[in-house]
Amino acid sequence: MIKIKKFIINVFFIFISLLPVFIFAGANYPFPIDCDYANGIRITSYNSNDLLNMYNTWKSKYVVTASPGQRVISPEPINGVNNRTLSEGQAYGMLLAVYFNDQALFNDLWAFKVARSSGKTSQLMPWIIENNGTTIVDQNSAPEADFDIAFALLMAHYQWGSGGTYNYQTLADTEITRCRQYDI
C-alpha cells in the first residue's frame, strides 16, 4: 500500500510539474514526456519504463471489470471487507489513466462512476461501493475524491480533447459545479 501511495504521489508531482505545458499548449501529451524544466526537480530514481511497469502492475492488480466500465479495488480491506471500491481510488485511477495516456481505461472508470452516482441528488460518486461492484455501502461522497475526479476530467480535456466519446471539458465543468454546490 505504501509503495502504491508513493508511486501515485511521484506521478502526481511529475504531472503537476507538466501542468503549465498541458494548460497552455492544448495538445496531446502521450507518456512519457522526457524533458527537463527550468523550475522544478526531475526525479532520477525512476525512468519511464519503470513507471510504465508500475502502472501496468497496478492495473493488473487493482483494476477489475465492472458493469459498466471498470473499477479500482482497494488494496486493503475496508471495514474488514476485501475488494471494495472507494471513490478516492477511482479518482486516482482516472488521474493515472490521463498521465499514462490510457483513454480507454479513463472512459471505463468514468462510466463506472456515472453509473453508481445516478441515484444521488448530487450526482457525485458514493464513497464506498461493495466488492460486488453494485451495492452502495456509503452514499455520501468524499470531497477529495470529487475534486480529483473533476481535475482528472479537466486533464483529460487537455490530454485528448473533448471531441470524442465524451466532452471532458463540459463534464469537468459539471463536476466542479457539483463540488461547489455539495462539497463546499
Instruction: Give the cell for residue 135.
Output: 451495492
> What's the CA gap between 10 and 94, in Å, rounded?
16
Only one residue has cell 465543468, namely 173
Domains and CATH numbers, the chain: 2-182 (1.50.10.10)
> What's the CA gap between 137 and 160, in Å, rounded?
33
> What's the CA gap between 9 and 55, in Å, rounded?
13
Instruction: Give the cell for residue 100.
Output: 499514462
pLDDT tier, 1 (very low <50, low <70, confident <90, very high otherwise):
low
User: Residue 44: what pLDDT?
Assistant: 80
- The pLDDT tens digits of the residues spanning 119-174 come to 777 899 999 999 999 999 999 999 999 999 999 999 999 999 999 999 999 999 99
pTM of the model: 0.82
Average of per-residue pLDDT values in the chain: 87
- The pLDDT tens digits of the residues spanning 15-49 come to 444 444 444 344 477 787 777 778 878 778 888 89
Instruction: Give the cell for residue 101.
Output: 495516456
> What's the CA gap between 171 and 57, in Å, rounded?
29
> What's the CA gap between 100 and 88, in Å, rounded?
18
Q: Which of 172, 166, 167 is nearest to 152 (CA)?
A: 172
